[in-house]
Amino acid sequence: MAHRVAVVRNGQMIDFTSSVGQLGWSSNMDTLGAELTFAYAASETAGFPSKTFIQEGDIIALLNGSTMLGHYVVVSSSPSGRVGKSLTCYDFAWYLNKNQTVIQFKKSSTSSAIAKLCDRFNIRHNISPIKTLVTKIYKGEVVSDIITDLLGQATQETGIAYFMEMIGDVLTVRPRAGLLIRPMIRLSPQTPLVPAASLISEPSRTRSIEDMANKVVVVSEEDKSTKVFAEALDAANIKRYGQLTRIVTLDKKNAAQARQIARTTLSEANKVRDECSVTMLGHDDIRAGRLIDINEPVTGIVGRYLIKSASHSVAKGIHKVSVELEAIG
């Protein structure tokens, strides 16, 4: 199948793929929302789209054959050569990144708090149950930052990592552990399916203790208090690397969760960061937040990895994806 782009007008899709070049899309765990970029040939000559064919605010559909991959809002445009136009688009999470709000939660579950936020901005949602209770006031904060903070609190208290993304026009929040992918591709219509992760190129790998913490201390967030609620440490790692302490502040109302928060924070931070990058033949399932198994013994990129970012490109019918990875476990 081939990737296609179309503009959505009055509920109908107008395909203009034949005029498009430099097609690319990307996702990154550090940001809520995916990006789509492309250029199209624009001319007043019959048979070509005009330079005003696509405008800021238009909705662009990205498809692979008849399969819908996502909808994107045109955010900016610029001239590309004498007869071209370059466009930058974002999925509907862009609205969560661009709206601030004032909101109070009082003993709300995290999932219901996120749903309340989405409802306020007419964002459809599919949120896995998250029972962690939230009592907090947010004033003048960006909606996506509030959601990130809510999920961070839930992860601290439960040890379960969550991931959020837009799937179509639906904000989806679910545990990261269930997002293992095994993408399969064909090199040609006549060849059998093979794992995309077995055909990698340009591998690189970096290991670092720059962000390691082998001791965690949970303390009161009150300015006039130095009360310690809980501690967790790894004596063996302290002996090996030296003491690296991280302080976590906590409202005294949540002191009962302090030990769990200390253990969860230590589990996440007490390790050598093993980060890699590779390029492979593209598959639409390869997105930020997914887990993938790779076996590249030359560089030691072997095991299960979290996809931190994925940048897809389609040129001359060849689909490639460059990914940034972090080892887990």
pLDDT per residue over 178-198, tens digit each? Answer: 789 999 998 888 889 999 998
In the chain, the percentage of residues whose pLDDT exceeds 90 is: 66
Report the amino acid identity of residue 139: K
pLDDT digit string, tens, across residues 250-266: 888 778 889 999 999 99
Both structure tokens of 128: 């896995």
Cα-trace Rg, the chain: 23
Quote the tokens at residue 311.
């940048």
Tens-digit pLDDT profile for residues 277-327: 999 999 999 999 999 999 888 888 889 999 999 999 998 888 999 999 999
For the residues of 110-159, what is the DSSP string, one character each? Answer: HHHHHHHHHHHTT-EEEE-----EEEEEEEEEEHHHHHHHHHHHHHHHH-
CA-nearest of 168, 196, 194 to 181 is 196
pLDDT reading at 49 higher than 80: no
Q: What is the DSSP letter of 99?
A: -
3-state helix, strand, coil in the chain (%, to 5): 20, 50, 30
pLDDT per residue over 144-180, tens digit each? 999 999 999 999 888 898 989 988 889 999 998 778 9
| 172 phi/psi in degrees, rounded to 5 | -115, 130
The per-residue pLDDT for 321 is 96
Residue bearing tokens 């005029």: 19
The confidence score (pLDDT) of residue 48 equals 61
- pTM for this model (two decimals): 0.86
